[in-house]
Every structure is written in C-alpha cells, then in structure tokens.
Amino acid sequence: MLLAAIWGASFLFTRLSVGEFGALPTAGVRVAIAALFLMPLLVARGQLSALRAHWKKIFFLGLLNSGIPFALYAYALQSISTGLSSLLNATVPLFGALVAWLWLKDRPHGMKIVGLLIGFVGVALLASGKASFEPNASGLVTGWAVLACLGACLCYGLAASFAKRYLSGQPSLVIATGSQVGATLGLAVPTLLFWPSQAPGVTAWLALLTVGVLCTGVAYVLYFRLIDRVGAAGALTVTFLIPVFAMVYGVIFLDEAVTAWMLMCGAVILFGTSLSMGLLKPRERV
C-alpha cells in the first residue's frame, strides 16, 4: 500500500514539475536526484565493486527502465491526466509478458494468453475514447501522449527481460543505483540542451525533488525489499493499486475528472493483467 501510494504520487509530482522544466529536463533531473540518493546506500553496503563489474549492462538497463520511460511519461503528462496515464501504466505486466514471450521464448499458456488479449482490448478501448491526433480546445494532442505512455510500458517490458537475461543474480540495490546513474548519463546532454530559458519556480523544484528522492530512490528500496519478502509476483501486485492512488491525487490536488469510461476500461485492463500474471485462476472441479 505504501509503495503504491508513493508511485501513484509520481504522476502528480511529475505533472507539477513538467510544466516549467519540460519533459527531458524533468526526467534528467529526476534520475540524477535518485542516483545521488541511492549511491551512498550502495557504498555503505560495500556493493560498489559489483556495479563496476557490470556497469555497461546496468547503465544500458537504466536507459530502458528509467531514462526513456520517465521522459515519455513527462511528455505525456503535459496533455493527459494523471489518472489516464496511470491506467495505461497498469499495462506494464502485459508488455512484460509479451516481450518475454517473443524474446525469451517464455510462452504463456491457457488463461494467461486470454488475459493478455483482454488486457490489450482494454487498452484499445481506453485509447479509442481518449486518444486523438487533432488538437483539442486547449490545443493539446492527446494521441501522442497515449502512445508515449504505451511506449514507456514497452520499455519497462524490455528492461525486465534484459535484466532477467543478462543481470540475473545481481544485487537489487546495485541494479537500482546503477540504472539511475546510467539514466542520468544518458539524459545529461538532452537535459542541458532543453533546459528552460526561464528559471523554474520553487513549487516545480520541490515537486521534482520529491519525485526524485521519494518516488524513485525510496520507492526502489521499498520495491526490492518487497521482492525479497514476498517474491516478484507478489511485488508486482502493486501495479493494481497505483492507478487508484494516482486518480485520487489527481481529483484532490489537480481537479481532474475521472469518467465512467476510464473506470470501465481500467477494470478490463486490470482484469486481463491479473489473468496474464496468473493471479486469477479458474476454479478446478473436484
């Protein structure tokens, strides 16, 4: 619950900062703050040597798992609500299962395949109701934002299979810290090139500091501790709670609207996701 509350808030804080920083600087500063937060923990645990031994693969993972997705979500949150973006984020396990199927030949069976199909039908329904490539009344194009969110989810799916294939057995804190350092290096030049000409205000800075320390650094520590205690499958159930918190934050703090269509499509996505993860299984006859 705590992890879902923190990650749900990441959409809110990103929304509050991206308007003044822009998408690429928002992502770049976020991962830099997270790297600065996590590096002392890594050194204190004596795991710096493990990072040195595998830095190339871990840094590349950082681009897939943090740098590119964070930039895509920051871009998307300039034109769509935090609730919609969090619902689309719930498709991460679907993309993870699809990539593992195509890349690692980890083929799903039975109801898991049905779950994948149901989940992607939910995405199609949600996108059809919210995505448009024509500027709306506010001059925003939501279609590209929806595609950006789905692109971020695909990156997460690729990152999961990459880590499983090339970094299996490495300490979780090493991967978490190294990935943030790699993302920081990868986004350094774009962040400087697109740095806003007008200095961002205090609110934007505080929001970005919070999303970097709390929603990235602290969240990674909680997430990997959860994996150690309940396993990867159990930890992934946080995916189902993130949209709930994100939508509540959006309604309370940003005055966003949550429509019946969003809730219905979100339920379809979450139902398909739970089937694809094997969390829901048909009752066996005795």
Residue 283 lies in a domain: no
At residue 284, the pLDDT reads 54
Cβ–Cβ < 8 Å for 122, 266: yes
Q: Average per-residue pLDDT in the chain?
A: 88
Long-range interactions of 32-35: CB distance < 8 A, separation 24+: 32/180, 32/184, 32/212, 33/208, 33/209, 33/212, 33/213, 33/216, 33/217, 34/66, 34/180, 34/212, 34/213, 34/216, 34/217, 34/220, 35/177, 35/180, 35/181, 35/183, 35/184
The mean per-residue pLDDT over the stretch 203-228 comes to: 90
For residue 15, what are the contacts with CB-CB under 8 A and spacing of at least 6? 77, 82, 254
Q: How many CA atoms lie within 13 A of 87 on its CB side?
A: 30
The mean per-residue pLDDT over the stretch 276-281 comes to: 72
Domain membership of residue 232 as a residue range: 2-276
At residue 215, the pLDDT reads 95
Q: What percent of the chain is predicted at pLDDT more than 70?
A: 92
CA distance 113 to 275: 8
Cβ–Cβ < 8 Å for 280, 274: yes
Cβ–Cβ < 8 Å for 216, 34: yes
Between 281 and 258, the more confident residue is 258
At residue 283, the pLDDT reads 61
Reply yes or no on whether the pLDDT at 23 is more than 90.
Answer: yes
Reply yes or no on whether the pLDDT at 240 is more than 90.
Answer: no
At residue 105, the pLDDT reads 84
Residue 265 lies in a domain: yes
State the total domains in the chain: 1
Reply yes or no on whether the pLDDT at 62 is more than 70.
Answer: yes
Over residues 142-179, the pLDDT tens digits come to: 889 999 999 999 999 899 889 888 988 888 889 999 99
Residue 83 lies in a domain: yes
Q: What percent of the chain is predicted at pLDDT more than 90?
A: 54
At residue 252, the pLDDT reads 94
Q: Three-state DSSP class for 60?
A: helix
CA distance 113 to 129: 25
